[in-house]
């Protein structure tokens, strides 16, 4: 896999957009939620918040959408990266993700995961794949994948996964009283959500390390109705995502178009790693769980 493709991996993995200059600083509300008098308004318990939040995302268990994406950053040589592409996003909770990236009708990259593995396909020049198993994922292996968080945590950035009942979580009002803050354990650290207290729509999602430093942060905006094909529900979901990967200074802008829940008509082939290798003719596979080859002694 060439250096350019490796550099794009962490950008596209995060899935979505540009928060200039975050690099570990705290995200602040921008006033889109109605002000709340936090001095007199009772603070909801985590149990109450998770119940309302999970009601909101109940019919977002499957999502299909067209996407456009813009990636900005700096590569390892110090050159600016500014890439634009289109593609499709497909999700089946809790662990199936397929993000295909196309340019001029040709699929260049394919990010995905299923119950067992996560992968990255580079289909641009030499067709190659990176793949790892969820249960063997560690921060060290994720670093080989150029990602600072557990691969499955990337799904959390979309704001459509349920909050686990009974989690050791806390709630608080934001400093200006506009947003409801929820902090709960993550796989390798903590998750922090900033919710509109009236709609429970997430406006910010942050993935933090064990010391509380922001590793990946997303701003969610412009909620649009998701058409549910098997009933009349139209739950809202953010259609514009802004993500910053603090460890690399990479920014992405992801826009969703015509999102829908295809219910039983959702195909599972996009989440079948072996089928994708065959369909795209990929034979060169780098398995991240395998130890790296030993270095040859210097002559």
Average pLDDT over residues 267-273: 96
Among 127-141, 205-219, 271-285, name the one with the lowest average pLDDT: 127-141
Over the chain, what is the mean pLDDT? 85
* Contact status, residue 100 vs residue 86, Cβ threshold 8 Å: no
| Tens digits of residue pLDDT in 141-154 | 777 666 778 878 87
Q: Output the pLDDT for position 206.
A: 96
CA distance 118 to 114: 7
| Tens digits of residue pLDDT in 195-236 | 999 999 999 999 999 899 999 999 999 999 999 999 999 999
Residue 24 has pLDDT above 60, yes or no: no
Instruction: Give the confidence band of 20 by pLDDT, cuts at 50, 70, 90.
Output: very low
Instruction: Give the confidence band of 245 by pLDDT, cuts at 50, 70, 90.
Output: confident
What CATH number was assigned to the domain covering residues 3-287?
A: 2.50.20.10
Q: Output the pLDDT for position 238.
A: 97
The residue ranking higher by pLDDT, 104 or 240, is 240
Residue burial 141-176, b: 16+ Cβ < 10 Å; e: rest:
bbeebbbbbbbbbbbbbbbbbbbeeeeebebebbee
Residue 250 has pLDDT above 90, yes or no: no
Q: Output the pLDDT for position 278.
A: 97
CA distance 162 to 172: 19
Q: Output the pLDDT for position 16.
A: 32
The residue ranking higher by pLDDT, 254 or 34, is 254
Q: Output the pLDDT for position 296.
A: 63
List the domain boundaries for the chain: 3-287
Q: 58: which residues sit within 8 A by CB, 6+ positions away?
A: 162, 235
Average pLDDT over residues 30-50: 72
User: Residues 81, 287, 108, 114: is their CA dihedral positive or negative?
Assistant: negative
* Contact status, residue 161 vs residue 178, Cβ threshold 8 Å: no
Q: Output the pLDDT for position 189.
A: 92
* Contact status, residue 196 vs residue 181, Cβ threshold 8 Å: no
| Tens digits of residue pLDDT in 80-113 | 888 899 999 999 999 999 999 998 889 999 999 9
């Amino acid at each position: 896999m060439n250096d350019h493709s490796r550099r794009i991996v962490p950008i596209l993995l995060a899935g979505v957009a540009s928060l200039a200059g975050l690099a570990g600083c705290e995200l602040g509300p921008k006033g889109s939620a109605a002000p709340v008098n936090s001095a007199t308004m009772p603070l909801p318990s985590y149990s109450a918040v998770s119940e309302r939040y999970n009601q909101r995302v109940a019919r977002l268990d499957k999502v299909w959408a067209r996407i456009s994406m813009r990636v900005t950053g700096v590569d390892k040589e110090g050159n600016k990266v500014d890439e634009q592409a289109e593609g499709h996003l497909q999700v089946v909770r809790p662990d199936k993700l397929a993000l295909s990236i196309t340019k001029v009708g040709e699929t260049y990259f394919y990010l995905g995961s299923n119950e067992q593995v996560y992968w990255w396909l580079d289909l641009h020049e030499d067709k190659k794949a990176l793949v790892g198993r969820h249960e063997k994922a560690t921060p060290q292996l994720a670093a080989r994948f150029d990602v600072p968080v557990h691969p499955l945590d990337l799904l959390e950035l979309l704001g459509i996964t349920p909050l686990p009942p009974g989690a050791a979580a806390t709630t608080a009002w934001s400093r200006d009283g506009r947003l409801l803050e929820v902090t709960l354990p993550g796989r390798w650290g903590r998750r922090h959500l900033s919710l509109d207290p009236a709609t429970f729509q997430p406006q910010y999602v942050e993935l933090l390390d064990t010391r509380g430093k922001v590793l990946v942060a997303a701003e969610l905006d412009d909620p649009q109705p998701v058409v549910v094909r098997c009933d009349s529900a139209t739950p809202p979901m953010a259609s514009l995502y802004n993500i910053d990967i603090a460890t690399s200074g990479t920014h992405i802008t992801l826009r969703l178009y015509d999102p829908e829940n295809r219910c039983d008509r959702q195909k599972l082939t996009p989440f079948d790693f072996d089928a994708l290798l065959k369909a795209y003719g990929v034979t060169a596979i780098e398995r991240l769980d395998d130890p790296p080859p030993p270095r040859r002694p210097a002559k």
